[in-house]
């Protein structure tokens, strides 16, 4: 990661445990964030397989599940499991909760 500047994405209160929030920032593809056991995870909202929104999916056992073809992405590193043919890894970003807000290093 070349740029480690943290960018404020939303209020921490916008996140709910296990639910996936879509976050739109001008000038880039939408992001998504979720909270698992109090730890925040930020990743691309668009599934690398077929351009579906992961915010319509759900979190299960530390993985975000695409609601359309059920690819599973590890929240820790974006690695893909149960992948449909041609589905690559999901990009995940370093993120943290600070002062009641969600920050991520978008690189």
Partner 1 sequence: MCDAKARPDMQPVYPKAGSYPDFADLVDDSRAQVDRRVFIDRAIYEAELRQIFGRAWLFLAHESQIPNPGDFVRTYMGEDDVIVVRQRNGRIGAYLNSCPHRGNRVCMVDSGKKARGFICNYHGWSFGIDGRLNGTDGKVYDKDPGFQKSEIGLTPVAQVASYQGLVFGTFDPEAPSLEEYFGPFTWYLDVMLDNDEGGTEFIGGCVKSTVECNWKFPAENFVGDILHAFWTHQSGAEAILGGAVDLGSRYDERAFQASVYGHGIETNLDKVGNTRTLGFPELNDYVLGRYEAVKARLGEVRARMVGAVSSCTVFPNFSFLPGQATFRVWHPKGPDRIDLYTWTLVNRNMPERIKELYRKGTMITFSPGGVFEMDDGENWEYCTKANQGWVTRHQKLHYGLGQDSGWAESSLPGHIHRGSLNDANQRQFYRRWAEFMRFDSWGDLQRAETAPPAKPMTRAAE
Instruction: Rank residues 9 and 47 by Cβ distance to partner 1 and give the closer one.
Output: 47
Instruction: Rank residues 60 and 96 by Cβ distance to partner 1 and give the closer one.
Output: 60
Q: How far apart are CA 67 and CA 50, in angstroms?
A: 11
Distance in Å, CB of 50 to partner 1, minimum: 3
Q: How far apart are CA 88 and CA 40, in angstroms?
A: 22
Distance in Å, CB of 15 to partner 1, minimum: 21
Residues lying near partner 1 in the complex (CB under 8 A): 47, 49-52, 56, 65, 67-70, 84
Alpha-carbon dihedral angle through residues 69, 72, 75, 77, given to the nearest 10 degrees: -110
Instruction: Rank residues 88 and 107 by Cβ distance to partner 1 and give the closer one.
Output: 88
Helices (H) and strands (E) in the chain, counts: 0, 10
Residue 58 · residue 16 · CB < 8 Å: no
Distance in Å, CB of 38 to partner 1, minimum: 25
Instruction: Rank residues 39 and 50 by Cβ distance to partner 1 and give the closer one.
Output: 50
Distance in Å, CB of 34 to partner 1, minimum: 17
């Amino acid at each position: 990661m070349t740029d480690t500047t943290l960018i404020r994405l939303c209020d921490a209160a916008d996140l709910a445990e296990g639910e996936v929030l879509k976050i739109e920032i001008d000038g880039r593809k939408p992001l998504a964030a979720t909270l698992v056991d109090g730890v925040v995870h930020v990743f691309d909202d668009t599934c690398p397989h077929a351009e579906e929104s992961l915010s319509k999916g759900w979190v299960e056992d530390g993985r975000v599940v695409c609601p359309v073809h059920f690819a599973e992405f590890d929240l820790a590193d974006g690695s893909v499991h149960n992948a449909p043919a041609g589905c690559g890894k999901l990009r995940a970003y370093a993120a943290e909760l600070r002062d009641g807000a969600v920050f991520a290093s978008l690189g």
